[in-house]
Structures are given as structure tokens and as C-alpha cells.
Amino acid sequence: MPRENWNYGNNSFLLHGYYNYRYLVLARIGGDGGSRIRYILGVPGHYYSNEKYMASMFGFPHFVLSKNSRPRTAASDTGIQISVY
């Protein structure tokens, strides 16, 4: 991960997600055919409105549903809050 994003080591939302679920998601995308390399950092969690608000405050504005979740009609869908660099 680029050095300017190392501040996530002290991000309390990220640490809370890691301590609760014991994993994070880090993916590298792009770089093929001269495209820009980008990184995705994901924190597992549930789609509650207050959790979404906190995630956005701490730099994780997007939510991706897990494949085993129901359609987003339930308030507690499981998935990953992500940030893209």
C-alpha cells in the first residue's frame, strides 16, 4: 500500500472490524495494459445505517454485499466496507 495511506494502521474503524472478524481484505487492481494500479482495502461488517455513517467518517464510503447475503432489503446485510486508492 502506498506510504501516504499507512495512517490506516491507527484507524479505529479498521481496527474494530479486524478485532471482531479477524480479517481484512487488501486487493490490487489494474496495472494491465498500462492502466493505473489501484488498491482496495476492505473491512468486514454489517450494513446498518449507523455503521455506514461511521465507515464513511473513517474513509470507507462504499459497501459491497457478500455473495451469501439477501438483497439489500434487510438492515443487517453482511459484506465489506471498502476504500479505493
How would residue 42 be classed by pLDDT, with cut points 50, 70 and 90?
A: very high
pLDDT of residue 73: 55
What's the burial of 4, exposed, middle or buried (CB within 10 Å: 0-12/13-18/19+)? exposed
pLDDT of residue 61: 92
User: Is 28 in contact with 42 (CB distance < 8 Å)?
Assistant: no
Q: Does 1 score more than 70 pLDDT?
A: no
Which amino acid makes up residue 83? S
